[in-house]
C-alpha cells in the first residue's frame, strides 16, 4: 500500500514537490515564492498574475556569506518574433535607472535580461514600495509581475542568511556590519564509487522480483516494455532493477529494487530524500535515468505537461548506498523552465 500511495501521489500535482516535504525551506508570499538550500543559497521568484496570458518571471538569487551579491534576471516567453528589440523595465510606470533600453538575450519565444550589479541594486530598492513591475519590448508591453509579497520574500531570505538588520540586507537594512553575516555552511561530501563492468546482466527482471518489494503493487495492466526496464550493476553482486509501475499523461513511475544478478538478497532501493522530507526515503521515482560511468541516478517528475514545475533529483552510488547529491524543485506552475528552478539541496561529489 505504501508503494501504491506514493505512486499515485507522484502522478499528480499533489506529489512530492507540492507536499510538506520541505516547507521549512520553501515559502509562498502572495504572488511570490522563495526557497533556500542547505548551504543557505536562496532564490525568490515573482510571477505574473493567475489567469494572465503572459508567461515570464523575475528571479532574485543570492548565495550565503558576507560578500555575496544578489543576481537578478527578468525573463519572458511572450516577446515578439524576429530580432529582439530593447526592453524597458518599469515599476508603477516609472523606468528604473539603467533599465530604459536593455538588449535581451535568448530565442524568439524565450528572452531574458541578466542585470548588472548596479541595475540589480536599483531594482531591489524600488521593489519595496512598488505595486507592479512591467516590461516593454519597444513600445509593446510583454510582462506584468505583481510585487505583492516581494518584500516579505526578501525579508525571509535575509533572515535565513543572517542578514536581517545588517548592512548587506536586501530590505530593512540596519547597523550590523557585513562581517556579522555568517559564512555558508559546509556542504555534505559524497564519494562516488568507481564504475563496474556491465556485462553478464539479465535481460529482464528475475521472476523472483516480478511481484515483490517495489514491484508488488505495480499495475497489472501496465506491464513494462523490455526497453523500459533499467538493469545496471552498481557493485559486484549488487544490481539496480527498475521497472515502470504506473503511467500518467507525462510521468512514468518506476519501482526500484537492489539485488544480485539472479534476484537474490532483494531489498528496496530506499533512496534518501532531502532532509526534513516525509517520508525520508522512497523506492518509487519518476522518469528515471542511470549513467553507469558516473554511478549517477536521476529522476525528473513533471508537475504538469509543459514541464514548468516539478522536481529533479540526483543520487550517486557510493559503493554501499545511493546518496542524494541534488534536489531542484519548482512548486509554482508559472512558466519557469527547469534550468531556472531553485536548488533546495546539494552535496559535493568526489
Kindly list the structural domains of the chain, giving each domain's residue range(s) and its CATH number in brackets, ordered by start: 39-180 (2.60.40), 189-349 (no CATH)
The pLDDT, as a whole number, for residue 52 is: 84
Query: Cβ atoms within 10 A of the Cβ of 223, count?
Result: 11
**Full DSSP string of 154-220:** HHHHHHHTT-TTBTT-SSS--SB-GGGSPPPPPPPEEPPPPP---TT--SS--TTTTTSGGGTT--T
Question: pLDDT at position 55, please?
Answer: 87
Say if residues 91 and 126 touch (Cβ distance below 8 Å): yes
Q: Is the pLDDT of residue 24 over 90?
A: no
Please state the rounded mean pLDDT for residues 229-242: 97
More confident residue, 298 or 248: 298
pLDDT exceeding 90 applies to what percent of the chain?
75
Q: Which of 134-148, 189-203, 216-230 has the lowest mean pLDDT?
A: 216-230
Looking at residue 176, its pLDDT comes to: 96
pLDDT at 25: 81
Give the pLDDT confidence score for residue 228 in this predicted structure.
85
> Is 224 a residue whose pLDDT tops 50?
yes
Answer with the residue of higher pLDDT: 142 or 53.
142
- At residue 19, the pLDDT reads 40
pLDDT tens, residue by residue, 48-68: 988 788 889 999 999 999 999
Give the pLDDT mean for 268-295.
Answer: 95
Which grid coordinates are listed for 40? 543557505
Which contacts (CB < 8 Å, 24+ apart) does range 91-99 have? 91/123, 91/126, 91/127, 91/130, 91/131, 91/132, 91/133, 91/134, 91/147, 92/130, 92/131, 92/132, 93/134, 94/126, 96/122, 96/123, 96/126, 97/122, 98/122, 99/123
- As a residue count, the chain comes to 350
Q: Which of 255, 254, 259, 256 is nearest to 239 (CA)?
A: 259
pLDDT range class, residue 167, cuts 50, 70, 90: very high
- Using DSSP, how many helices (H) and how many strands (E) does the chain show? 3, 25
Of 33-47, 78-92, 326-340, the range with the lowest mean pLDDT is 78-92
Strand pairing report for 189-190 and 322-330: unpaired
The rounded percent of the chain whose pLDDT value lies above 70 is 89
Which pTM value belongs to this model? 0.91
Amino acid at each position: 500500500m505504501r508503494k501504491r500511495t506514493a505512486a499515485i501521489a507522484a502522478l499528480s500535482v499533489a506529489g512530492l514537490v507540492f507536499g510538506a516535504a520541505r516547507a521549512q525551506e520553501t515559502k509562498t508570499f502572495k504572488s511570490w515564492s522563495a526557497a533556500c538550500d542547505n548551504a543557505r543559497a536562496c532564490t525568490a521568484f515573482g510571477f505574473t498574475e493567475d489567469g494572465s496570458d503572459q508567461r515570464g518571471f523575475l528571479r532574485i538569487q543570492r548565495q550565503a556569506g558576507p560578500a555575496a551579491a544578489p543576481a537578478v534576471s527578468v525573463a519572458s516567453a511572450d516577446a515578439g518574433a524576429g530580432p529582439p528589440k530593447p526592453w524597458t523595465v518599469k515599476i508603477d510606470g516609472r523606468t528604473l535607472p539603467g533599465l530604459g533600453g536593455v538588449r535581451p538575450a535568448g530565442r524568439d519565444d524565450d528572452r531574458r535580461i541578466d542585470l548588472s550589479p548596479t541595475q540589480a541594486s536599483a531594482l531591489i530598492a524600488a521593489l519595496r514600495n512598488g505595486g507592479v513591475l512591467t516590461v516593454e519590448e519597444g513600445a509593446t508591453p510583454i510582462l506584468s509581475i505583481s510585487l505583492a509579497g516581494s518584500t516579505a520574500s526578501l525579508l525571509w531570505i535575509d533572515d535565513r542568511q543572517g542578514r536581517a538588520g545588517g548592512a548587506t540586507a536586501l530590505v530593512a537594512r540596519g547597523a550590523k556590519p557585513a562581517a556579522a553575516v555568517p559564512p555558508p555552511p559546509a556542504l555534505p561530501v559524497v564519494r562516488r564509487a568507481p564504475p563496474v563492468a556491465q556485462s553478464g546482466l539479465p535481460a529482464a527482471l528475475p521472476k523472483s522480483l516480478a511481484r515483490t518489494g517495489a514491484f508488488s503493487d505495480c499495475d497489472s495492466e501496465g506491464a513494462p516494455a523490455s526497453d523500459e526496464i533499467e538493469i545496471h550493476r552498481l557493485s559486484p553482486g549488487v544490481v539496480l532493477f527498475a521497472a515502470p509501475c504506473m503511467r500518467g499523461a507525462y510521468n512514468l513511475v518506476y519501482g526500484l529494487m537492489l539485488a544480485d544478478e539472479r534476484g537474490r538478497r532483494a531489498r528496496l532501493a530506499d533512496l534518501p530524500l532531502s532532509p526534513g522530507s516525509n517520508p525520508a526515503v522512497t523506492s518509487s521515482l519518476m522518469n528515471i535515468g542511470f549513467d553507469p560511468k558516473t554511478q549517477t541516478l536521476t529522476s525528473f517528475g513533471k508537475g504538469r505537461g509543459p514541464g514548468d514545475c516539478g522536481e529533479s533529483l540526483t543520487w550517486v552510488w557510493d559503493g554501499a548506498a545511493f546518496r542524494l547529491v541534488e534536489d531542484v524543485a519548482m512548486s509554482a506552475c508559472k512558466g519557469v523552465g527547469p534550468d531556472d528552478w531553485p536548488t533546495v539541496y546539494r552535496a559535493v561529489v568526489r
